Amino acid sequence: MKVPVPAHIGSIVLVLPLLLAVLQTATAQKNGIQIYSLTVDSKVSSRFAHTVVTSRVVNKAEEAQEAIFEMELPKKAFITNFSMIIDGVTYPGNIKEKATAQKQYSEAVARGESAGLVKATGRKMEQFQVSVSVAPTAKVTFELVYEELLKRHLGVYELLLKVRPQQVVKHLQMDIHIFEPQGISFLETESSFMTNELADALTVSQNKTKAHILFKPTLSQQQKSPGQQDTVLDGNFIVRYDVNRTLSGGSIQIENGYFVHYFAPEGLPTMPKNVVFVIDKSGSMSGRKIQQTREALIKILSDLGPKDQFNLITFSSEVTQWKPQLVPVSTENVDEAKRYAAGIYALGGTNINEAMLTAVRRLKNDNQAELLSEGSVSLIILLTDGDPTVGETNPRKIQKNVQEAIDGQYSLFCLGFGFDVSYAFLEKMALDNGGLARRIYEDSDSALQLQDFYQEVANPLLTTVAFQYPSNAVEEVTQDNFRLLFKGSEMVVAGKLRDKSPDVLSAIVKGKMHKQNVTFQTKSSVAKQEEEFQSPKYIFHNFMERLWAYLTIQQQLEQMVSASEAESEVLKDRALNLSLEYNFVTPLTSMVVTKPEGQEQSQVAEKPVEDVGGGGRSTPTLEGPPCSSGVTGQAWNTHCSGILTDSHSSCVPPGTTWFPASSPRPRCLCVPCRQGSQFSILSLTCSYPRIFCSGQCPSLGFYLSDLVFLGIEVTGQYNTEKACFHWIEVTFKNPQVRVHASPEHVVVTRNRRNSAYKWKETLYSVLPGLKMTMNETGLLMLSGPDKVTISLLSLDDPGKGLLLLLRDTDHFSSHVNGILGQFYQDVLWETPQGADDNKRILKVQGKDYSATRELKLDYQEGPPGKEISCWSVEL
């Protein structure tokens, strides 16, 4: 393999934020497409939200132009309709079975047309986009409809709307109506773009059961400066609220032959819990991941209840228990646990199977020894970022082992760190055992995400909750048995009323509190409820029937994860039929968007699934004790020939130093000198697997930081078998920019917005203090005044990976650190007294290493290669 790298690099790259907007019109003023009306109409009836986004645009140019409708909607929402009206003709989106739509989808891709209109764009949102050519003076109306059931989270419901028109709009309006028969107890709005001027455009009114939020800014209020088309509207608009509750069996609401039962009683005491934290400390958790895990764990330990008991289990290749048994929460125990947590560092493989079985045995043994309090709740919380690599590595076998061991006695919650984790594996294991899985997004607030999750499960109120309804009154009821009810959450059951159901619908809810069983009862008048839900101003047609269908589909998709193959097919068929009947875009259906003749004839909207990751993932780094003496590594310096060589080499400029990694222990990355080089390439590799790798080389994490002075941090994960990086991430402190590179694309994050670029695009961007360029060879350069130039190179070999190159390394400060950074602090290359030209002494941070010139194979022209002179360093 030959990868040319020019000695003088002056290439160009454009790095701009990905434009995620209610309506994408970044070039509207240039190409003549103008939005003259944009409205968002959202009606929330008993937590079920029906949102309609309508955008009207006109082409004021003298020739046809492309109009792009692009918006973000919540991940839990289902699109129910999309249409375009052009010259009085409506072009609808038709929802079909995924298999039926696949042919059109494939044909559109083959023609190079847009396909897959919905994609994940962040933690809570998905992006919908469609484009259409608009004739001169023609008008187009876009209308998108989506629905979602608002889930109660930490005591509130949240309606999230994205606002980013990218230009001032003559008629811009957000109209939100909320109707809650239980009564609205709390209401607030929050916006990331609100100014004093815009605040005057916001009106909030509320009575006992209804609320109305109207946001209608004038043209002048939208403008950044008078007379300009640039708008200040850019961000989220959030409505949060809660409803009145009592210590009762909840609220039953009825509309048009369907019912929904909300259950979240107030005033229940928190049950004591036994919690075992199972923490992955394998090599891939190094750097920021393990640091944030430590921070979160220390904070979580402070939040344990006074009646709780806990233990910590850490695992990599081996499993370690902090204590031989669960211990009660006390100042002494918590302080000791915090000190233990602070000392956790990442190293080794991933033995998930043994870690989980150890946690289950710990709870069982302590329970048999009567060390767990009567009536307490036992939870296992697993945090991991990787696939199992040590011990039992078959995911299905691990899932079976864990389910058999837990045997319905405990609840398992799995937290998957980042997008490289096998989320489907964790999700099934959690759902099999009465818990749930959650993805922890790698970002600066990962520690807060972990803490927020813990707060969700920190206060169990009831266990084994069962809902009972008269068999002569209801049918087709959604899930009516639940393992746990936590404070701040809510249980929701929906169903159909039978044709000849009683005039009053009654319900019994049974559960277990601490040391006692409890029964709640409630009832609701069918006629009274039907009358209450008649107001057309607040209610959209048959909303409760659609709520029932929505909830049924969501639950059946979830049940498919842990069901047997035969059961899964039955669930899939029913969920598919409901999706088609109620016109929902779900993971089982697709929406085919038609266009006028002569344009791209089909675009396909599909619901993203959780395991298909988006950008924005961070990268693991390595951390741990330094290399021990006696560890042997290989390194070559080519200050004479200017050629980088060994079995994984590439042609690079003269004066280049290559820094390979090799050791059976991932932390022991032994890096040699940088003798006067201005340009360095990092290509970590097990140079000779027969020497350094018994069986298989581990993936290595990489870390380089000079945050204090240069404000730069580089992380990555290296594939030792392929001799290149899986991915690399570069973070700049000022300006705040993150560049995440994978073999597929480059994602630039700035101001929380992502831009994705393909390799070998000719792009260019200059920001204050940072220049980003990429040329047609696929060399991405990140540079700034008085900073080290960081370059990323995508290898041509399909699926191969990336190389990392450094230039102007003399700009590193004395505080540079990390696996590579430490070698820029104090490195000298000397000739021993009386030694010949084939001997050198490498001094790294005050330590001497012997270097010998040897003949190595040069594979820059491909195999079989020829021998040339290189340096070998024993560390």
pLDDT in tens, 179-222: 999 999 988 887 877 777 788 888 999 999 999 999 999 888 88
| Dist CA 833 CA 825 (whole Å) | 24
What DSSP state is assigned to residue 832?
A: P
CA distances from 443 to 616, 729, 781 (A): 8, 12, 23
- Between vectors from CA 12 to CA 754 and to CA 615, what angle results, nearest 5°? 20
Run of H or E residues at 320: strand 319-321
Lowest mean pLDDT: which of 288-302, 522-536, 607-621?
607-621
Residues 6+ apart with CB under 8 A from 502: 470, 472, 473, 526
- Over range 237-252, report the average pLDDT: 89
425-439 residue pLDDT tens: 999 999 999 999 988
Lowest mean pLDDT: which of 92-96, 798-802, 824-828?
824-828
Contact 247, 268 (CB under 8 A): yes
- Over range 814-825, report the average pLDDT: 62
Identity of the residue numbered 815: H
| Dist CA 143 CA 130 (whole Å) | 11
Residues 6+ apart with CB under 8 A from 856: 636, 645, 646, 867, 868, 869, 870, 872
Lowest mean pLDDT: which of 232-246, 492-506, 532-546?
532-546
770-787 residue pLDDT tens: 778 777 677 888 888 777
- Over range 253-271, report the average pLDDT: 93
Band the pLDDT of 630: cuts 50, 70, 90.
very low
Check residues 666 and 474 and name the one with the higher pLDDT.
474
Check residues 628 and 190 and name the one with the higher pLDDT.
190
Instruction: Assess whether pLDDT exceeds 70 at residue 644.
Output: no
Phi-psi region of 643 (alpha: psi -120 to 50; beta: other; left: phi over 0): beta
CATH topology for the 273-458 domain = Rossmann fold (3.40.50)
Lowest mean pLDDT: which of 39-48, 143-152, 269-278, 703-712?
703-712
Phi-psi region of 637 (alpha: psi -120 to 50; beta: other; left: phi over 0): beta
Instruction: Assess whether pLDDT exceeds 60 at residue 621.
Output: no
Band the pLDDT of 608: cuts 50, 70, 90.
low
Check residues 590 and 848 and name the one with the higher pLDDT.
590
Check residues 514 and 636 and name the one with the higher pLDDT.
514
Instruction: Assess whether pLDDT exceeds 80 at residue 281.
Output: yes
Nearest to 170 by CA among 85, 296, 55: 55
| Residue 673: Cβ within 10 Å count | 25
Place of tokens 């229940």: 268
Lowest mean pLDDT: which of 91-95, 161-165, 244-248, 761-765?
761-765
Residue 764's pLDDT is: 59
370-399 residue pLDDT tens: 999 988 999 999 999 878 889 999 999 999
Contact 664, 630 (CB under 8 A): no
Contact 478, 550 (CB under 8 A): no
Residue 320's pLDDT is: 95
List the beta bridge partners of residue 276.
311, 380
Instruction: Assess whether pLDDT exceeds 70 at residue 408.
Output: yes
CA atoms within 13 A on the CB side of 491: 27
Residue 8's pLDDT is: 26
- Over range 751-758, report the average pLDDT: 62
Contact 276, 359 (CB under 8 A): yes
Lowest mean pLDDT: which of 65-74, 163-172, 598-607?
598-607
Lowest mean pLDDT: which of 39-48, 326-335, 723-732, 804-813?
804-813
Instruction: Assess whether pLDDT exceeds 50 at residue 654.
Output: no
| Residue 499: Cβ within 10 Å count | 7
Residue 742's pLDDT is: 80
Instruction: Assess whether pLDDT exceeds 60 at residue 30.
Output: no
Highest mean pLDDT out of 154-168, 221-235, 716-730: 154-168
Residue 873's pLDDT is: 53
For the chain, how many residues are written?
Answer: 875
Band the pLDDT of 422: cuts 50, 70, 90.
confident
Instruction: Assess whether pLDDT exceeds 70 at residue 863.
Output: no
What DSSP state is assigned to residue 531?
A: H
Check residues 835 and 11 and name the one with the higher pLDDT.
835
Tokens of 214: 């109207």
- Over range 480-486, report the average pLDDT: 95
Cis check: omega of the bond before 735, within 30 degrees of 0: yes
Tokens of 239: 């409505």
- Over range 635-661, report the average pLDDT: 28
Run of H or E residues at 446: helix 446-457
Run of H or E residues at 751: none
Sign of torsion over alpha carbons 762, 765, 754, 614: positive
Residue 762's pLDDT is: 58
| Dist CA 255 CA 530 (whole Å) | 5
Band the pLDDT of 323: cuts 50, 70, 90.
very high
Residue 445's pLDDT is: 72
Helix/strand/coil for 107:
helix
Residue 824's pLDDT is: 60
Tokens of 154: 């930490």
Residue 604's pLDDT is: 64
Residue 726's pLDDT is: 77
Instruction: Assess whether pLDDT exceeds 70 at residue 535.
Output: no
Lowest mean pLDDT: which of 330-334, 424-428, 466-470, 852-856?
852-856
Place of tokens 């959209």: 540
CA atoms within 13 A on the CB side of 148: 21
Place of tokens 């958790």: 285
Identity of the residue numbered 16: L
| Dist CA 673 CA 635 (whole Å) | 9
Band the pLDDT of 868: cuts 50, 70, 90.
low
List the beta bridge partners of residue 858.
866
> Mean pLDDT score of the chain, rounded to an integer?
75
Residue 110's pLDDT is: 57
Check residues 474 and 634 and name the one with the higher pLDDT.
474
Question: DSSP string of 589-639?
Answer: EEEEEE--TTS--EEEEE---TTS--S--------SSPPPTT------B-T
Residue 722's pLDDT is: 63
Instruction: Assess whether pLDDT exceeds 80 at residue 355.
Output: yes
Instruction: Assess whether pLDDT exceeds 70 at residue 703.
Output: no
| Dist CA 255 CA 479 (whole Å) | 19
| Dist CA 23 CA 18 (whole Å) | 13
Check residues 844 and 390 and name the one with the higher pLDDT.
390
Tokens of 455: 């707060």
Burial class (CB in 10 A: 0-12, 13-18, 19+), 371: middle
Q: What ranges do the domains of the chain cover? A: 251-268+462-556, 273-458, 656-874
